[in-house]
């Protein structure tokens, strides 16, 4: 097929999609489809333009693949990262206990789950052993084939691969047998669907933002937050996207096929925050009663640091090796106005820190404005739209006024605001613009927000909505202009210096302090700026004073459970014991 | 706005069929505080009256000296001259700057808003006036009051006492001439019968809890004002008394405990008046309201226990250890107020759910107290022996303080009774109460973890103290 023809077909497909999109038919296909290609075992192909190991990394190392399992007591804490069904274990039972308290499950459901786990866990272990053994056999056969193609034929390898995938199916079948009764119950309850909105990518179609009106596909249940949760429903782009011509499509053409434009730093951040901050319109909102029932608090999030720990399964343009297709790809994205920024692409992570910081504030103000609408009948929005620490702080006779409090909180003290950390990096972005008009406009919008939040505790609904709208317009504009600007070494250095200055002169609350340190780590590492040893992101445990004080290292990896008794209580006591003056002192020492 | 009150739990004030045996009395009478009927402390200060001399058992004399020299209330004016006070005003936006070194009387220039821009300036002045309702009811001259008369037509008192005799005893204009007579009618208009423990408690709670005229809210606490945690029995023990209560004490069984109960009843009653006023003022349209009183914020966080929100985030295990179990529909913003918690436990009272019915609910409450609990305050009455167990609330910091105040009253009562009968002073549960006192002391800013560590210890001490005090 000639190049022109296939492009023509693609365009036809796009055109067809554009017309069907209005009727709303972006179907999810499930991670299993993606794994057919993106689960390659590495080797020479990993050096190609596309890694092809993305799904493998995600499945074995990324916590997101555990998102649903976490709710029902399955962990990857077995030997060599094997799946284990142990809902009776304390750290695994948090999700189940929570769902019992919220009446999504009955105590009997919980007991049944434990009983079923007792039966199925040994089966699951046996099945996983079989997968391992078969995988070994296949691998050996491939090696033998390399050595001597006569000894092992391709047919034999294919047969072994078939056995391997069949045993893998067996693992999934056991998991599904355990999960399905529980997931069915969750489908049936509004709270359960709320959980699944973030914890699973189970929707049939990707058009309706309203989680209550969509149906879920069940065959992907154990996959949790899988490929399409971020990349978009795959139905329309699945076939075209593996043709090499796809690379020469502009991002806007890919979007029309349902593929999210995750190369764009603002889009990427927005995708993360839709769960990690919340998005009322997408049905992603953890109510305060869920926290009371046991959901761990959502911490602040700096996108690059979190991505680093996923671990990142993608490469930025500058990291992509020059092999076939790259030039077409570069030409295509640079031809797209929204992607002109990638031409410099020297400091994509620094760019993400700054742009992501702006998006965080935009999402946080939107969350509160939307919560005001959603909880209108209750008179006040749900507490979960606010900073946990606004209320959950020990009483102190000598209050410490932090920077974010005096710059961004309501003018009357003692009134809750949205997460203070969400202002920290947005304010940095304004500083970096070095534009007095930008600073003035930002401060004016922030003052409008503060005024609306001062008019009554939790914010006056109409005023908050107006201020949120104004802020969102301004922040959106900032995102676009920051994304399209070249992120130079000077800008990275300026950002690093400004953060250093803030950390050593201002008083920051716990989460803003974390944002600041994370941002410093990403920027200094990428731009090769001198970063003191004590401030480096720890490879293992939190060993330096600053790292320990902020519990800076995330409980990363699919094998770690957030609710681990060694993690969550420690983090919570770090938050409770945190003293802004002590942090400033530690930073002064570290940066001496 | 009505729905805002729905997080309060249901009303309970169940009116049983108990006959009205105790006269409904003047103990619920509105406490007059009309400044125009006040005469000032000098009117009481004659040597032959309450001026010179020593405090004695039977005669008057020395009260005012004792008050002026020892009682912290007498120095209320210095509070409002302090930097701490100015800082609170600054944080609340009532003033826009603190003029250092300015002579008293010139600070009014700091008030927010241009005096020409009356709406803003008048509002700032109105809000300052709220502070002065408690801190300077007698209108002593301070840097804040020279131009800001406490009420129209009131002369500024020259005795220099921001809180004077009449702040508690009532404005004296109508009774100064005959209150020393043997046949004086203590129900005389304007006279506060402070010998009656309930009236005394209500007099304190006007400021120490708040009422329709006085409101110290969460905004002010966040700006630096200490939270109002009032327990009359404890406070009275700590106050250098300018009166002699030994006769009353000797003639009353469980005197301390009755003081405690009277204090709790007054807390509850004042709290209802305050809540009613808060709800009404939160609904008031601002422009009309502006010149008089500031619009009240709602929800008002100070209606709740401090620790219903102010506790560290806990993991599930820790929550279980501290006994904070998850309860469905448990709204953190309850109306379980620190100052009312003990009474809720003891009498099964709950604070109202229905904001619109507050006046009615207060009338019900008063009737219930008259019918059932007033007799508990009679000199011969004895209170339930297992009272400490009934008030054993220790789930959070507020409740722990609350229970501690009650236990102290019980311990002091038992101590006095033993002393009366055997002549030998023998303290009860002293070790436990001292240990509790240490544990419950206000925490320093760096001491945030103690709540987690000490819970089981506090519980054990209460348990052991309750046993001994039974």
Mean pLDDT of all residues in B415-443: 87
Q: In angstroms, rounded to a whole number, what is the distance separating the alpha carbons of residues B57 and A428?
A: 71
**Stretch 410-469 of chain B: residues touching chain A, C-beta under 8 Å:** 442-446, 448-449, 451-452
Q: What is the DSSP string of B298-314?
A: SS-GGGS-HHHH-S---
Q: In angstroms, rounded to a whole number, what is the distance separating the alpha carbons of residues A221 and A214?
A: 15
CA distances (Å), origin B403, targets B239, B346, B389, B410: 21, 11, 9, 11
Residues in Cβ contact with B256 at an 8 Å cutoff, skipping those fewer than 6 apart: B233, B237, B409, B410, B412, B413, B416
Q: What is the mean pLDDT of chain A?
A: 87
The better pLDDT of the pair B10, A222 is held by A222
For residue B314, give the chain A residue with the closest CA: A572
Show the CA angle centred on residue B72, arms to residues B70 and B76, nearest 5°.
Answer: 135
Q: Is residue B302 within 8 Å of residue B222, measured between CB atoms?
A: no
**Stretch 564-583 of chain A: residues touching chain B, C-beta under 8 Å:** 565, 568-569, 572-573, 575-577, 579
CA A590 vs. chain centroid, Å, equals: 30
pLDDT in tens, A47-67: 455 667 888 889 889 999 999
Q: In angstroms, rounded to a whole number, what is the distance separating the alpha carbons of residues B424 and B416?
A: 10
Give the max Cα distance, chain A: 82
For tokens 């930097």, the residue is B83
Q: Does B222 touch chain A (CB under 8 A)?
A: yes
CA distance A196 to chain B (A): 21
- The pLDDT value recorded for residue B15 is 32
pLDDT in tens, A290-331: 998 889 999 999 999 999 999 999 988 888 775 666 777 778
Mean pLDDT of all residues in A460-488: 94
B79 SS3 class: helix
Q: Is residue B215 within 8 Å of residue B225, measured between CB atoms?
A: no
- Chain A interface disruption, residue of B312, B329, B441, B442, most A CBs within 10 A: B312
CB contact under 8 A, B451 and A456: no
CB contact under 8 A, B3 and A379: yes
Q: What percent of chain A has pLDDT over 90?
A: 57
Of A369, A212, A203, A205, give the one whose Cα is nearest residue A279. A369
CA distance B452 to chain A (A): 9
Q: Does B92 touch chain A (CB under 8 A)?
A: yes
H or E stretch at A136: helix A107-147
For residue A84, name the pLDDT band (cuts at 50, 70, 90).
Answer: very high
- The pLDDT value recorded for residue A174 is 94
Q: Is residue A491 within 8 Å of residue A432, measured between CB atoms?
A: yes
Pairing of strands A74-75, A84-85: antiparallel
Q: In angstroms, rounded to a whole number, what is the distance separating the alpha carbons of residues B113 and B93?
A: 10
Dihedral-angle region of residue B113 (phi above 0 means left; psi in -120 to 50 means alpha; beta otherwise): left
CB contact under 8 A, B332 and A383: yes
Residue B307 backbone dihedrals phi, psi, to 5 degrees: -80, 0
CB contact under 8 A, A415 and B222: yes
For residue A101, give the chain B residue with the closest CA: B328
Supply the Cα-derived Rg of chain B in whole angstroms.
Answer: 23
CB contact under 8 A, B328 and A572: no
Q: Does A300 touch chain B (CB under 8 A)?
A: no
Q: pTM of the full predicted structure? A: 0.90
Of A425, A550, A444, give the one whose Cα is nearest residue A498. A425
For residue A422, name the pLDDT band (cuts at 50, 70, 90).
Answer: very high
Supply the Cα-derived Rg of chain A in whole angstroms.
Answer: 25
CB contact under 8 A, A379 and B318: no
For residue A351, name the pLDDT band (cuts at 50, 70, 90).
Answer: very high
Question: How long is chain A?
Answer: 592
Q: In angstroms, rounded to a whole number, what is the distance separating the alpha carbons of residues B202 and B366?
A: 13
Give the max Cα distance, chain B: 72
pLDDT over threshold 80, residue A22: no
CB contact under 8 A, A394 and B332: no
CA distance A405 to chain B (A): 12
Q: Does B221 touch chain A (CB under 8 A)?
A: yes
- Helix and strand numbers (H, E) in chain A are 26, 2
b/e code A251-273 from CB counts within 10 Å (16+ = b): bebbbbbbbbbbbbbbbbbbbbb
Partners of residue B120 in chain A, C-beta under 8 Å: none
pLDDT over threshold 60, residue B23: no
Partners of residue B219 in chain A, C-beta under 8 Å: 412-415
CA distance B334 to chain A (A): 13
CB contact under 8 A, B298 and A383: no
For residue B109, name the pLDDT band (cuts at 50, 70, 90).
Answer: low
CA distance A584 to chain B (A): 15
CA distances (Å), origin B145, targets B107, B122, B154, B208, B252: 9, 14, 12, 22, 43
Residues in Cβ contact with B157 at an 8 Å cutoff, skipping those fewer than 6 apart: B38, B40, B41, B138, B139, B140, B164
The pair of three-digit structure tokens given for residue B384, joined into one six-digit string: 């339930």
Of A487, A513, A491, A488, give the one whose Cα is nearest residue A582. A513
Partners of residue A458 in chain B, C-beta under 8 Å: 299
For residue B220, name the pLDDT band (cuts at 50, 70, 90).
Answer: very high
pLDDT in tens, A541-554: 899 999 999 999 99
H or E stretch at A84: strand A84-85
CA atoms within 13 A on the CB side of A375: 20
- Say which of B224, B326, B449 has its CB closest to residue A576: B449
A284 SS3 class: strand
Mean pLDDT of all residues in A70-82: 91
CB contact under 8 A, A411 and B93: yes
CB atoms within 10 A of CB A215: 11
A75 SS3 class: strand
Residues in Cβ contact with B86 at an 8 Å cutoff, skipping those fewer than 6 apart: B95, B98, B107, B110
CA distance A391 to chain B (A): 5
pLDDT in tens, A173-194: 999 999 989 988 998 898 998 9
User: What DSSP designation does B103 have?
Assistant: P
Residue A367 backbone dihedrals phi, psi, to 5 degrees: -60, -45
> Which of A345-349, A371-375, B135-139 is the least confident region?
B135-139
The pair of three-digit structure tokens given for residue B123, joined into one six-digit string: 């509002």
Residue A407 backbone dihedrals phi, psi, to 5 degrees: -95, -30
CA B260 vs. chain centroid, Å, equals: 12
A186 SS3 class: helix
Of B165, B125, B160, give the one whose Cα is nearest residue B139. B160
């Amino acid at each position: 097929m000639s190049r022109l023809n296939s492009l023509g077909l693609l365009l036809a497909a796009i055109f067809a999609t554009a017309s069907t999109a209005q009727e709303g038919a972006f179907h999810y296909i499930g991670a299993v489809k993606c794994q057919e290609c993106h689960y390659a075992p590495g080797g020479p192909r990993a050096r190609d333009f596309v890694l092809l190991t993305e799904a493998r990394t995600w499945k074995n190392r990324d916590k997101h693949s555990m998102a649903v399992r976490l709710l029902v007591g399955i962990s990857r804490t077995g030997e060599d990262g094997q799946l284990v069904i142990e809902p009776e274990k304390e750290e695994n039972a948090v999700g189940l206990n929570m769902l019992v308290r919220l009446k999504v499950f009955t105590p009997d459901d919980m007991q049944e789950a434990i009983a079923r786990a007792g039966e199925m866990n040994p089966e699951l272990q046996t099945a996983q052993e079989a997968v391992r053994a078969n995988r070994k056999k296949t691998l050996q056969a491939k090696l033998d084939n390399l050595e001597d193609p006569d000894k092992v034929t391709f047919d034999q390898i294919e047969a072994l691969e078939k056995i391997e995938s069949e045993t893998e199916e067996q693992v999934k079948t056991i998991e599904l047998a355990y999960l399905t009764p529980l997931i069915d119950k969750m489908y049936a309850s509004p709270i359960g669907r709320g959980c699944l909105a973030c914890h699973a990518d189970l929707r049939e179609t990707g058009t309706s933002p309203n989680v209550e009106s969509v149906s879920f596909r069940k065959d992907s249940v154990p996959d949790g937050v899988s490929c399409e949760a971020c990349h978009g429903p795959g139905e329309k782009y699945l076939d075209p996207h593996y043709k090499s011509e796809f690379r020469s499509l502009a991002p806007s053409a890919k979007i029309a096929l349902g593929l999210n434009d995750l190369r764009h730093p603002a889009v990427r951040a927005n995708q993360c925050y839709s769960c990690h901050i919340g998005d009322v319109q997408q049905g992603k909102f953890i109510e305060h009663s869920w926290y009371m029932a046991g959901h761990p608090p959502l911490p602040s999030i700096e996108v690059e640091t979190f991505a680093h720990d996923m671990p990142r399964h993608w490469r930025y343009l500058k990291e992509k090796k020059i092999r076939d297709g790259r030039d077409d790809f570069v030409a295509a994205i640079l031809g797209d106005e929204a992607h002109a920024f990638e031409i410099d692409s020297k400091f994509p992570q620094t760019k993400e820190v700054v742009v992501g910081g702006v998006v965080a504030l935009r999402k946080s103000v939107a969350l509160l404005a939307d919560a005001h609408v959603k909880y209108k009948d209750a008179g006040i929005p749900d507490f979960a739209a606010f900073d946990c620490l606004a209320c959950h702080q020990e009483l102190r006779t000598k209050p410490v006024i932090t920077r974010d409090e005096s710059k961004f909180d309501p003018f009357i003290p003692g009134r809750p605001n949205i997460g203070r950390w969400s202002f920290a990096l947005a304010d940095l972005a304004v500083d970096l613009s070095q534009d007095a008009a930008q600073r003035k406009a930002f401060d004016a919008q922030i003052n409008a927000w503060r005024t609306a939040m001062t008019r009554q505790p939790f914010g006056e609904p109409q005023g908050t909505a107006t201020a949120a709208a104004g802020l969102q317009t301004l922040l959106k504009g900032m995102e676009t202009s920051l994304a399209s600007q070249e992120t130079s070494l000077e800008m990275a250095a300026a950002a690093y210096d400004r953060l250093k200055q803030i950390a050593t002169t201002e008083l920051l609350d716990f989460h803003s302090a974390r944002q600041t340190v994370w941002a410093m780590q990403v920027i200094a590492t990428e731009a090769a700026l001198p970063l003191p040893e004590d401030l480096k992101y720890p490879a293992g445990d939190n060993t330096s004073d600053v790292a320990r004080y902020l519990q800076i290292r995330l409980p990363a990896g699919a094998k770690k459970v957030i609710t681990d008794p060694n993690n969550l209580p420690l983090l919570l006591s770090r938050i409770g014991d945190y003293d802004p003056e002590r942090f400033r002192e530690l930073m002064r020492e570290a940066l001496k | 706005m009505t729905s805002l009150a729905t997080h309060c739990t249901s009303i309970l004030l169940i009116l049983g069929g108990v006959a009205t045996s105790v006269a409904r009395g003047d103990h619920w009478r509105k406490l007059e505080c009309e400044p125009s009927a006040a005469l000032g402390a000098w009117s009481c200060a004659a040597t032959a009256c309450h001026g010179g001399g020593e405090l004695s058992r039977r005669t008057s004399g020395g009260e005012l000296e004792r008050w002026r020299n020892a009682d912290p209330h007498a120095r209320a004016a210095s509070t409002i001259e302090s930097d701490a006070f100015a800082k609170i005003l600054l944080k609340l936006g009532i003033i826009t700057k603190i003029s250092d070194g300015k002579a008293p009387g010139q600070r009014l220039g700091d008030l927010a808003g241009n005096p020409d821009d009356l709406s803003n300036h008048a509002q700032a002045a109105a809000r300052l006036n709220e502070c002065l309702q408690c801190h300077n009811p007698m209108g002593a001259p301070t840097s804040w009051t020279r131009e800001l008369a406490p009420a129209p037509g009131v002369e500024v008192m020259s005795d220099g006492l921001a809180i004077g005799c009449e702040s508690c005893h009532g404005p004296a204009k109508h009774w100064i001439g005959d209150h020393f007579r043997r046949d004086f009618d203590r129900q005389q208009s304007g006279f506060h019968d402070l010998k009656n423990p309930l009236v005394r408690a209500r007099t304190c709670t006007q400021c120490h809890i708040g009422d329709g005229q006085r409101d110290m809210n969460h905004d002010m606490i966040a700006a630096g004002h200490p939270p109002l945690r009032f327990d009359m029995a404890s406070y009275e023990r700590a106050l250098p008394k300018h009166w002699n209560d030994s006769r009353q004490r000797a003639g009353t069984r469980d005197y301390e405990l009755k003081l405690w109960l009277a204090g709790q009843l007054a807390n509850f009653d004042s709290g209802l008046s305050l809540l009613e006023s808060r709800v009404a003022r939160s609904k008031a349209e601002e422009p009309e309201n502006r010149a008089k009183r500031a619009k009240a914020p709602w929800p008002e966080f100070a209606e709740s226990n401090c620790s219903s929100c102010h506790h560290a985030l806990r993991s599930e295990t820790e929550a279980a250890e501290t006994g904070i179990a998850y309860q469905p529909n448990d709204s953190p913003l309850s109306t379980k107020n620190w100052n009312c918690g003990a009474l809720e436990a003891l009498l099964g009272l709950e604070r109202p759910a229905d904001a619109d019915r507050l006046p009615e609910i207060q009338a019900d409450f008063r009737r219930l107290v008259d019918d059932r609990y007033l007799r508990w305050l009679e000199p011969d009455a004895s209170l339930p022996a297992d009272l400490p167990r009934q008030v054993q609330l220790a789930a959070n910091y507020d409740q722990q303080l609350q229970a501690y105040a009650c236990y102290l009253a019980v311990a002091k009562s038992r101590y006095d009774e033993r002393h009366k009968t055997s002549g030998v002073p023998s303290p009860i549960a002293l070790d436990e109460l001292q240990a509790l006192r240490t544990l419950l002391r206000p925490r320093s800013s760096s001491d945030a973890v103690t709540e987690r560590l000490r819970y089981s210890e506090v519980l054990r001490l209460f348990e052991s103290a309750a046993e001994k005090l039974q």
